[in-house]
Structure 1
Amino acid sequence: MSEARHITLDLRPDELPSELGRGVHGKAPVHVDVAQSDPEPRFMRFRGIGAYRNTSVEEAVARVRALRDEWD
């Protein structure tokens, strides 16, 4: 599962952008939680798993293409 980055802010309603401030009334602080997904693909954890085979990227691509072409 990918990790997310979280930022938590307590802001005054007048500090919010207009599209977020709609519907917020009064002067009480607003709690804002912003989460950003990890930009790395979830499959990056498998990167290098076959390094012991000493296969170059070109060889791996050729092997995958050959397997794909078997089904055509």
Structure 2
Amino acid sequence: MAHSTAQPASLPALLKVAGDILAGIWDALTRIGEATAKVRRINAYSAMSDTELAARGFQREDIIRLVMADAI
């Protein structure tokens, strides 16, 4: 019969796991914030008239490409 003993996890290993979890949470919150800002920009541009958009140098069909340019 095989016997096994539980080894207590080392403090540095536990701190690394906790740090990884916190980094993941921070990354998720950052992504949510960035997405929210992009949605606000899309809504702001969508609320503009075609004349206002043209004054900024783009057309209505350019809005998504303009706002999401860093993600494409």
TM-score normalized by structure 2? 0.27
More strand by share: 1
Higher RCO (CA < 8 A, seq sep 6+): 1
- Structure whose residues are more often helix by fraction: 2
